[in-house]
Each structure stands twice: as C-alpha cells, then as structure tokens.
Amino acid sequence: MNKAFDDLIYRSGLIADGCWEELDTYTQEAIERLIGHTVAECCLALQPMLRDMISRGQAIDLIKQRFGVER
C-alpha cells in the first residue's frame, strides 16, 4: 500500500496499526479506491487555481468546500 494512504487510514482511526492485514481484500481495495477518488476530487477542486492563479489559501478553501470540511 502507498505510505501516504497508510498514514491517512491510520490517522483516521479506521484501523489500528497492524490491523490492515485482517481486512479482506475487497475492503482493502475499497479503502484504497476511496482515497484515490478523494485525491482526484482534490485535483478537480484545484482546477480554478491553475486557470485563474488563485492564492494558496483560496485553493485550500476550494478543497474544503468541495468536501464540506470545516477544519
């Protein structure tokens, strides 16, 4: 698994350290797909930044708005 994916899964509390192997293959692949889709959505959210050269803060706000994240 991608180290960044592994870190995200662990920090989310979805699985404890060492429990990944206990999940079935379907669940592991589904979690990895979810993260991949999330990254793709972030890229889509940043398209206006590339087009309009918006600030970094505005780019962060675009991602938060896309996912409805407050933090």
pLDDT for the residue numbered 46: 76
Residue-range definition of the domain harbouring residue 61:
3-67
Residue 55 sits at φ, ψ, to 5 deg, of -75, 165
- Give the rounded percent of residues in the chain with a pLDDT score beyond 90: 1
Kindly report the pTM of this predicted structure: 0.61
Q: How many other CB atoms are there within 10 angstroms of residue 9's CB atom?
A: 20
Q: When comparing pLDDT for 51 and 24, which is higher?
A: 24
41 pLDDT above the threshold of 90: no
DSSP 1-36: --HHHHHHHHHHTSS-TT-GGGS-HHHHHHHHHHHH
pLDDT above 80 for 26: yes
The number of domains in the chain is 1
| pLDDT over 70 at 57, yes or no | yes
**Helix, coil or strand: residue 70:** coil
- In whole angstroms, give the CA distance from residue 11 to residue 40: 20
